[in-house]
Amino acid sequence: MKSESVIILSGIIMVFSGFLLFYSMENSSNFDNLSKYAKHGGIFLGLLGIGVTIAGILLRLMDREQPSIQENKDV
């Protein structure tokens, strides 16, 4: 597996785990501190996962092999 694929896969896993952390907490006004930290950590992890996924996609696009240009010299 190429490193770009591993980066994209880890970014997707981070997004889903952040989604689970964020939505696992109920929306009530009487949160204890641990619940608040878990919810905010889920937001941070999800956004970080989006960035990692985009970085992996950009690495994959930049690493593709460019076709060589052959000039026609029959003039």
pLDDT at 39: 85
CA separation for the pair 44, 40 (Å, rounded):
6
Nearest to 52 by CA among 3, 40, 39: 3
Nearest to 45 by CA among 22, 73, 70, 67: 22
Which carries the bigger pLDDT value, residue 4 or residue 44?
A: 44
pTM over 0.75: no
pLDDT at 12: 93
pLDDT tens string 5-61: 899 999 999 999 999 988 887 765 666 777 888 888 899 999 999 999 999 999 888
pLDDT at 75: 57
